[in-house]
Amino acid sequence: MSPRTGSDTEHALARILPRHLVPAVVVAHNFFPLNAQGKVDLPALAAATRPKPSGPSGRRLNAREEMIVSLVAGVCGVHPGLDENFFDAGMHSLQALRLALRTTAATGRDVGLPLVLAHPTVRSLAAAVTSAPPAASGIHRLPRS
């Protein structure tokens, strides 16, 4: 049996499990960190980060893309790569809704959940936000008649 990387394991599990049962992140370890009592050190284990996907793009992010990365990190604690799918990085639908609301607040553009679901990468969401219509100015009280 050959050692598998986290990515290999994700792909193998995706072939045999329903999509909702495939783990969002699989991190391969050579050993488990142990605490002073000889038990698995869970905080140290949780500190292991998922390797960033190697992408062809070596360019710097523009201001809007940096803002999207920051908002995604604030919502789900992951700094996605430029073309990494938010949902593959561990985001779920409620976090996507939070991302849509925070992006609307940060940009003044109407970024709804359908836009985030249709554009689940930093690059595509940044481009979509640029062309999104201005956000409504809020809730207004209607006069009573």
**pLDDT at residue 3, as a whole number:** 54
Q: Which residues pair with 109 in a beta bridge?
A: 134
| Cβ atoms of 65 and 126 closer than 8 Å | yes
Instruction: Name the token pair of 95.
Output: 């976090």
Q: What confidence tens digit (pLDDT) does each residue in 8-57 have?
A: 787 888 899 888 788 766 777 788 888 999 998 887 777 665 444 444 45
Of 94 and 14, which is predicted with more confidence?
A: 94
pLDDT surpassing 60 at residue 92: yes
Higher pLDDT, 42 or 2: 42
- Domains within the chain, CATH numbers bracketed: 1-51 (no CATH), 59-136 (1.10.1200.10)
Q: What share of the chain is helix, strand, coil (3-state, %, to 5)?
A: 45, 5, 55
Using pLDDT thresholds of 50, 70 and 90, give the confidence band for residue 98. very high
More confident position, 119 or 18: 119
The terminus-to-terminus CA distance of the chain in angstroms comes to 77
Distance CA 122, CA 69 (A): 7
Query: Is residue 134 classed as helix, strand or coil in its secondary structure?
Result: strand
User: What is the value of pTM for the model shown?
Assistant: 0.61
Residue 22: predicted pLDDT = 80
Q: Which of 135, 125, 76 is nearest to 105 (CA)?
A: 135
Structure confidence at residue 113 as a pLDDT band (50, 70, 90): very high
Q: What one-letter code names the amino acid at 19?
A: R
Would you put residue 3 in left (φ > 0), alpha (ψ -120 to 50) or beta? beta
